[in-house]
A and B are shown apart, each in its own frame.
Chain A
Amino acid sequence: MALFYMLLVFMVIAAIIAVETKDLLSSVICVGAIGFGGSLMFLFLRAPDIAITQIVVEVLGLIILIRATISRDLTFITGDREFFGTVVSVVILFVILLAGVRIFATLPEFGAPVFARLPGTASQAYISRGLADTGAPNLVTSIYLDYRAYDTLGEATVLFAAVIGATAILRSKSRKALEGSDA
């Protein structure tokens, strides 16, 4: 479990570098390091399906982000917002951090979940009856594609809506044709 904490600290350090570095491209690569570190963490947390999905999504996301940052002249935009606003937001964030640490102290200990062990909860029912109900030995599959299939359908809808939005924003041909006919 020591490796687990080392990975977590690695992710935090990569996040700090990603936030504070001046060059946008190295910032994007640091975020990729967080993503791949997170995928390793999911393997440690016994979630192989999530790890595979995270790697695939991470590769695609990195391609999208590099497309946005490469070959831009002004990738070196630096500086924060005005000083007073920065100080106020840092103070507020620090207060939120302290409150969050207090709240997390009241949660059950890491590695001892409550929901999966109580009889009668949804998680317990999925573990005990998932294979008999759906025929899928992988319980994540049985939840994802059978018990909560409508959730997956909604997810696909959201994904297509996002793709339609992105293409509508990025297209330039019809807009130029429109401007030409106006003039």
Chain B
Amino acid sequence: MAYTLCFLLFMIGLYCAVVKKNMVKIVLGIMIMEYAVNLFLIMLGYFHDGVAPIIDRSEFDAQTQTVTAQFLNSSVDPLPQALVLTSIVISLGSLALLISICIRTYEKYGTFDITEIRRLRG
């Protein structure tokens, strides 16, 4: 159910990127797809009634340098979280690049409509 709704969000973004004529709409579709993928990866690591992957003082045994078995069995997966953190920051960079291309094209052609941007101009 949750995975399906997330995939539906992805498909809405894909529809927007494939069908729309407006350049900014295409960028928005790509952004929606990014949200859906990030959300899906975090969902894969979620554990029912789990705790955030932050170790409390009471959950760490300083003598043996190990965490308690209770934390080991209730923590959500920290690995997808760390990788999605990278992905979110990179998506900001790619958004800036895409939008600057859109602004530049608008300055050259005076429109965002990709069907009217046909000829290459220097």
Q: Which residues of A contact B (CB under 8 A)?
A: 4-5, 8-9, 11-12, 15-16, 18-19, 24, 27-28, 31, 34-35, 38, 41-42, 45-50, 53-54, 57, 60-61, 64-65, 67-69, 72, 74-75, 77, 79-81, 86, 89-90, 93, 96-97, 100-101, 104, 107, 110-113, 115-117, 122-124, 126-128, 130-132, 137-140, 142-144, 148, 151-152, 155, 158-159, 161-163, 165-167, 169-170, 172
Contact = CB atoms under 8 A, between A and B. Distances in A.
Interface size class of B (residues with CB under 8 A): 35 or more
A12 B3 CA distance: 12
Contact of A61 (B65, B79, B95): B95
B25 A19 contact: yes
Interface-central residue, B16, B44, B48, B53, by most chain A CB under 10 Å: B53
Contacts of A111: 46-48
Top 9 closest A-B pairs, CB basis?
A162-B93, A111-B48, A143-B82, A116-B77, A139-B53, A139-B78, A132-B65, A166-B100, A104-B3
A5 B4 CA distance: 11
B53 A169 contact: no
A162 B94 contact: yes
B35 to A, nearest CB: 5
Interface in B45-88: 45-48, 50-56, 60, 65-67, 71-73, 75-79, 81-86, 88
28 contacts: A4-B2, A5-B2, A11-B9, A12-B12, A18-B16, A19-B29, A24-B25, A38-B35, A45-B43, A46-B53, A61-B95, A65-B95, A81-B21, A89-B19, A110-B1, A113-B47, A115-B79, A116-B45, A116-B75, A123-B45, A123-B78, A127-B78, A137-B54, A137-B56, A159-B89, A162-B96, A166-B99, A169-B104
